């Protein structure tokens, strides 16, 4: 038997989890593990879980069930479960009792115990639970393996203080903590020095950055500092909250050529009654006014959103207001979700929960209208020239290069030379619901 160790990390959930999986990969490689290339090769499997909706949790339970056989075939296989799911009350114990072959369970606050847990898993046969209720101070200088080669993710805040009434994130990720600006700038400098061209600043609510820091700094100031890093070509950020999107930030985004003209601005619902019940902190009118200001300052901006249907108490009239809002704003894209009851959140106990069939009808109607808007907006790009950052070959057709416009639209274009990492002028020739096709005009860098 070979004595090379291989790891595999299966990630569910948002970009924060993707980034944390990169930290897990960094830890595994520091311990001498190599990434598994074939299925069944790994002798260490880590599952990074999400619990934002029931569907995400069910996928994890299904996967854990399937791992039973692998463990029976190879008793030395180490299985670890991390991420948001076991951070919920009683869930770690439930996982331990239902899947006793799991070696250890940890959460976002105990990510840094991973190397110890892996080492101890060899001696300790019983499931170890390493869950901590509150986060420690932010640990810097961790080994991170970025998931992609041209574009990197850099978290700037952890946790969330917004407590939208449907959402589990503040309970599992803890209160909002901002990273020190020097640590962020250091990480971005290191990334560009190693060849990354684009950085996305990450947080549940990036535009509230800095509120908890002893120094006087806000998100607009941070953007301005990051943009001064010369070799950085593009800067993106995710996710913005409408409540904290002030005029100063709009002006900073408009002023900085490196900041991409894409703003993901979840609205969640179109009726004031539902927005209030959700504790979103803005009205439909305030949201529409913000969109107007954004488009005035950045006319080419692509605005995308998240929407939930079937929040408790949502009537047909409320839902029609969501449809009306998406037709007014014309988002370039939207992530649409059916409300999922999360135990421990205030909305879980609200009266008038919406029946499953009604939620299903509403999501289908919503997707239909949004798809029509997305496709029309994509087709309107035909004939225009965009700056596209080459991100790599199209997996299905390697004669095509894949890249993104500043507005975050995926573009495929033929390229004889590998233009990965280069900014290319591309004329758009066709569009579908999911991507654009184009022809390269000239490489810009």
Binding site for ligand SF4 (CB under 6 A): 160, 162-164, 167, 169-170, 204-205, 241
Both structure tokens of 410:
């995926």
Q: Is 245 in the site for ligand SAH (CB under 6 A)?
A: no
Closer residue to ligand F3S in complex, CB, 169/222: 169
Residues that bind ligand F3S (CB under 6 A): 13-14, 16-17, 50-52, 83-84, 168-169, 172-173
**Alpha helices, H only, 256-355:** 272-278, 284-297, 316-329
Q: Is 157 in the site for ligand SAH (CB under 6 A)?
A: no
169 φ/ψ angles, rounded to the nearest 5 degrees: -55, -45
Q: How far is the CB of 175 from ligand F3S (least distance, A)?
A: 13
Contacts of 261 (CB under 8 A, 6+ apart): 253, 298, 300, 301, 302, 406, 407
Contact 256, 234 (CB under 8 A): no
CA distances, 345 to each of 42, 159, 170, 350 (Å): 37, 16, 10, 10
The interaxial angle of helices 284-297 and 316-329, nearest 10 deg, is: 10
Binding letters toward ligand SAH, positions 271-310, x by CB under 6 A: -----------------------------------x-x--
Contact 51, 171 (CB under 8 A): no
Q: Which stretch binds ligand SAH (CB under 6 A): 106-114, 145-153, 161-169, 211-219?
A: 161-169
Closer residue to ligand F3S in complex, CB, 173/359: 173
Pairwise CA distance, residues 36 & 43, whole Å = 9
Q: How far is the CB of 348 from ligand F3S (least distance, A)?
A: 15
Closer residue to ligand F3S in complex, CB, 83/403: 83
Closer residue to ligand SF4 in complex, CB, 239/271: 239
Q: Which stretch binds ligand SAH (CB under 6 A): 42-50, 74-82, 150-158, 166-174?
A: 166-174
Closer residue to ligand SF4 in complex, CB, 178/204: 204
Pairwise CA distance, residues 47 & 8, whole Å = 9
Pick one of ligand F3S, ligand SF4, ligand SAH, none as the site partner of residue 363 (Cβ within 5 to 8 A by kind): none
- What count of other Cβ atoms lies within 10 Å of the Cβ of residue 325? 20
Site of interaction with ligand SAH (CB under 6 A)? 14, 52-53, 166-167, 169, 204-205, 239, 241, 266, 268, 306, 308, 337, 339-340, 342
């Amino acid at each position: 038997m070979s004595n090379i160790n291989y790891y595999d990390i299966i990630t569910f959930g948002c970009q924060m989890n993707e980034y944390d999986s990169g930290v897990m990969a960094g830890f595994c490689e520091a311990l001498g593990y190599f990434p598994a290339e074939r299925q069944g090769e790994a002798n260490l499997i880590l599952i990074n879980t999400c619990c934002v909706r029931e569907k995400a949790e069910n996928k994890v339970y299904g996967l854990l069930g399937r791992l039973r056989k692998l463990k029976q075939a190879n008793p030395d296989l180490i299985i670890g479960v991390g991420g948001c799911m076991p951070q919920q009350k009683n869930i770690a114990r439930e996982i331990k009792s239902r899947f006793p072959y799991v070696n250890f369970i940890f959460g976002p606050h105990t990510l840094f115990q991973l190397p110890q847990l892996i080492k101890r898993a060899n001696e300790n046969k019983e499931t170890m639970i390493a869950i901590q209720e509150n986060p420690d101070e932010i640990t810097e200088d961790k080994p991170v393996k970025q998931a992609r080669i041209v574009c990197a993710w850099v978290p700037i805040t952890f946790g969330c203080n917004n407590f939208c009434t449907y959402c589990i994130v503040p309970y599992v990720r803890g209160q909002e903590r901002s990273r020190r600006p020097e640590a962020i700038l250091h990480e971005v400098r290191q990334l560009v020095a190693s060849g990354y061209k684009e950085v996305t600043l990450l947080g549940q609510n990036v535009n509230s950055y800095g509120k908890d820091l002893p120094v006087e700094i806000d998100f607009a100031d941070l953007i301005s500092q990051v943009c001064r890093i010369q070799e950085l070509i593009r800067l993106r950020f995710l996710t913005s909250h409408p409540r904290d999107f002030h005029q100063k930030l709009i002006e900073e985004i408009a002023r900085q050529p490196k900041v991409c003209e894409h703003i993901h601005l979840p609205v969640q619902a179109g009726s004031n009654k539902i927005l209030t019940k959700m504790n979103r902190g803005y009205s439909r009118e305030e949201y529409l006014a913000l969109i107007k200001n954004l488009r005035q300052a950045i006319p080419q901006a692509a605005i995308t959103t998240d929407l939930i249907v079937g929040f408790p108490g949502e009537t047909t009239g409320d839902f029609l207001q969501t449809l009306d809002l998406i037709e007014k704003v014309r988002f370039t894209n939207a992530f649409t979700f059916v409300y999922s009851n999360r135990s421990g959140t205030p909305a879980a106990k609200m009266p008038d929960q919406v029946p499953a069939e009604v939620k299903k009808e509403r999501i289908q109607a919503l997707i239909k209208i949004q798809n029509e808007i997305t496709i029309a907006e994509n087709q309107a790009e035909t004939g225009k020239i965009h700056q596209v950052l080459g991100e790599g070959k199209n997996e299905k057709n390697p004669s095509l290069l894949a890249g993104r416009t500043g507005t975050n639209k995926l573009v495929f274009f033929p390229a004889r030379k590998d233009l990965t990492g280069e900014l290319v002028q591309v004329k758009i020739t066709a569009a579908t619901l999911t991507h654009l096709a184009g022809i390269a005009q000239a490489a810009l860098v």
